[in-house]
Amino acid sequence: MAPERSTGNRIGAEDIRRRKGGVPIVCLTAYTYPVARMLDAHVDLLLVGDSVAMVLHGHATTLGASLEMMIAHGQAVMRGSTKACVVVDMPAGSYETSAAEAVASAQRIVEETGCQAVKLEGGVGVAEQIAAIVAEGIPVMGHIGLQPQSVEKDGGYKIKGRTEENIAALFRDAEAVERAGAFSVVIEGTVETVASDITRHIAIPTIGIGASGDCDGQILVIDDMIGMTVDRVPKFVKEYANLRDTISDAAARYAAEVRGHAFPGPDHVFSATSGKDKV
């Protein structure tokens, strides 16, 4: 059973729930210890997203994520975080079959990482799973709208909320997630006005990504946000840095110095006299 709030000053799921309609909730993804260390002081929530399969492991979609992969990265992020609410994605294939499967997967994630909550994709179709996980004392974040785990079924990454039928389905999903007991819900790739209306319609916080500035919080994939993404960057991303060029330039300078015998220099080698060197 996961505690609602960890020891110390750790933000818990209930703290996030209470932020509905208040100061916007700042969220970013994190997959590694050093990145978690750097982000922790600035965010309210760190999501160990199944996007790690694409961002760090080179898979074409998030379907390449496994339970073991999510746990390993969740452990790394928890080691680097002391303040943020850490949420770990439940990967495709770990919860869809039954409520019992969902509970077992969620329990394993929480027990092996110590995270504050789990996240799963879907609305009406996974309401039973959400309710079962919550009943075991594990907070759940929902995820509606564009659902990356369903990209093959949907025939690609398609923006949601452009037809009356789809809008009605989105509202049903949001209501189902809320009724099932989720403490918040991500709205991804959804028409702005629809995401805004859903935010006003439900009582739990909405976290937007490619949705609306009216959502109760925002999330981006960290590699997208800092200009590390080497493939296509989604339209909804704002790059706050350009580390692609920084890293490429550093590698080019290093290569030139190695080939030109400029590195290592005197400051980067050890002398025969002990006590003068700092490792």
Active site residue ranges: 188
User: What is the CB neighbour count within 10 angstroms for residue 235?
Assistant: 8
Is there a contact between 80 and 32 (Cβ–Cβ < 8 Å)?
A: yes
Tokens representing residue 53 in the block? 């399969």
Determine the angle formed by the axes of helices 127-135 and 99-113, rounding to 10 degrees: 50
Alpha carbon distance 23, 216 (integer Å): 8
At which residue do the structure tokens 């790059």 appear?
239
Task: Measure CA 80 to chain center.
Answer: 15
The number of residues in the chain equals 279
User: Do 76 and 36 form a contact (C-beta atoms < 8 A)?
Assistant: yes
Rounded CA-CA distance 74/232 in Å is 25
DSSP secondary structure, 3-38, as one string: -SS-STT---HHHHHTTTTSSPEEEEE--SHHHHHH
Q: How far apart are CA 55 and CA 220, in angstroms?
A: 12
Q: Residue 217, class by beta-carbon neighbours within 10 Å (0-12 exposed, 13-18 middle, 19+ buried)?
A: buried
CA distances from 96 to 115, 151, 199 (A): 21, 15, 26
CA 203 to chain centre: 22
| Alpha-carbon span 70 to 66, nearest angstrom | 6
